[in-house]
Amino acid sequence: DAGVIQSPRHEVTEMGQEVTLRCKPISGHDYLFWYRQTMMRGLELLIYFNNNVPIDDSGMPEDRFSAKMPNASFSTLKIQPSEPRDSAVYFCASSLVGAGNTIYFGEGSWLTVV
């Protein structure tokens, strides 16, 4: 399997612009997670889905952030409008219930908002 695939790997955008991050989970996995990593706050869980349904979005920082999972093989995290404090690495991860409930991470999307 190719693992969790994220795009873009790197993005630099201007403040106020819309940013869309994409994720393809491992085929067959029924959970999908979005995390954000910064030096100051470490690794934060933003939202997670089970069978394409959002289960817990309490980590989403504010209304500028939204996430969707239209089908089992695709999810997006959107920031509109973006702000410099949104600069971070955004990780997507997926897992399958059972076998240790292990989650597998993508390589991350490195976002810089200037």
Site string for other proteins, 18-37 (x = CB under 8 A): -------------x-x-x--
Asked if 49 touches other proteins (CB under 8 A), the answer is: no
- Output 50 or 81, the one with its CB closest to other proteins: 50
Asked if 108 touches other proteins (CB under 8 A), the answer is: yes
Per CB under 8 A, the segment of 16-24, 66-74, 75-83, 87-95 that binds other proteins is 87-95
Asked if 55 touches other proteins (CB under 8 A), the answer is: yes
**DSSP-based three-state secondary structure for 114:** coil
By CB under 8 A, name the one of 12, 15, 43, 114 that touches other proteins: 43
**DSSP-based three-state secondary structure for 24:** strand
Please state whether beta strands 74-79 and 5-7 pair in parallel, antiparallel, or not at all (unpaired).
unpaired
Task: Establish whether the linkage from the previous residue to 54 is cis, with ω within 30° of 0.
Answer: no
Q: Which two tokens stand for residue 91?
A: 């990780």
CB of 102 vs other proteins, minimal distance in Å: 6
Strands of the sheet containing 74-79, edge to edge, are: 5-7, 19-24, 74-79, 65-71
